[in-house]
Amino acid sequence: MAEIIVVTSGKGGVGKTTTSASLATGLAKRGKKVAVIDFDVGLRNLDLIMGCERRVVYDFVNVIQGEATLKQALIKDKRFENLYVLAASQTRDKDALSKEGVEKVLKDLAADGFDYVLCDSPAGIEKGAFLAMYFADKAIVVVNPEVSSVRDSDRVLGLLASKTHRAERNEGEVSAHLLLTRYSPARVETGEMLSIADVEEVLGLKTIGVIPESGDVLNASNKGEPVIMDGESIAGQAYEDAVARLLGEDRPLRFITVEKKGFFSKLFGG
């Protein structure tokens, strides 16, 4: 049975698609069969970050509308044969998605032997975001450690608790985890940014990953490569840790404290 994971947030631009791409790639690296679906109809960025934008022939909406089969629309990743991308449509409206259509796609993926299906949600609480989370077993709530991002994510948690398939059938809440992006320990120390404990307290969630502020994320996106593929990058390593925790491994959080300069660094201005 495929585990359905929604990657969601209240605010745009916090790194959901980067997170979806890296988590999906990390799970595939560990031998899991993974599909990642772009629910952001009208915009479509997941295929760019996954480096397969030139290979999109059919999209998610084409499958839901019966204009293409799921097999025709799924794009196999060139790096991992067990990783597939289902792109969003750039030309349709979000109303082209339907609850029945989404359910059928998810059931077909489960029947095809997928271990994980990641749903890359648009920001906010409109239809695309609602459908991305509706059938989820687990949610990764992506938050920047600043007040407006945290406040907007609190609204999403309300939907996860009450407006999902599980909630409507009294099967319990969707299991939600916090993933902090663009974290800067130096700015936390000066009080410009909320700490991990601050965000956990406000949202009532446990942290599954902390991704440090890094230019590597943008560089990787521009190359069409999930940042988790860059083993030298601290952001890539932090995503690897998040994947390990997602699979039940116990790993300490890294890159969350200010690196203290040594004596010689201070002496020579390093």
> Average pLDDT for consecutive 10-residue bins of the chain (270 residues)?
95 95 98 97 92 96 96 98 96 85 97 98 89 97 95 92 92 93 96 96 97 96 96 97 98 91 57
CA distance linking residue 183 with residue 187, whole number of Å? 8
The radius of gyration of the chain from alpha carbons, rounded to an integer in Å, stands at 19
| Structure token pair of residue 132 | 């991305």
pLDDT of residue 85: 98
Q: What is the pTM of this model?
A: 0.94
Cα separation values, 84 from 21, 26, 97, 120, 121, Å: 11, 13, 20, 13, 17
pLDDT of residue 96: 87
Those residues whose C-beta lies under 8 Å from the C-beta of residue 100, and which sit 6 or more positions away, are none
pLDDT of residue 186: 96
CA distance linking residue 266 with residue 188, whole number of Å? 22
Those residues whose C-beta lies under 8 Å from the C-beta of residue 212, and which sit 6 or more positions away, are 182, 183, 184, 185, 234, 235, 238, 255, 256
CA distance linking residue 81 with residue 151, whole number of Å? 39
| Structure token pair of residue 215 | 């230019």
The dihedral through the CA atoms of 41, 46, 51, 52 has a sign that is negative
CA distance linking residue 5 with residue 64, whole number of Å? 20
Question: What is the b/e burial string over 206-234, where b = at least 16 CB atoms within 10 angstroms of the residue's CB?
Answer: ebbbbbbbbeebeebbeeebbbbbbeebb
pLDDT of residue 3: 97
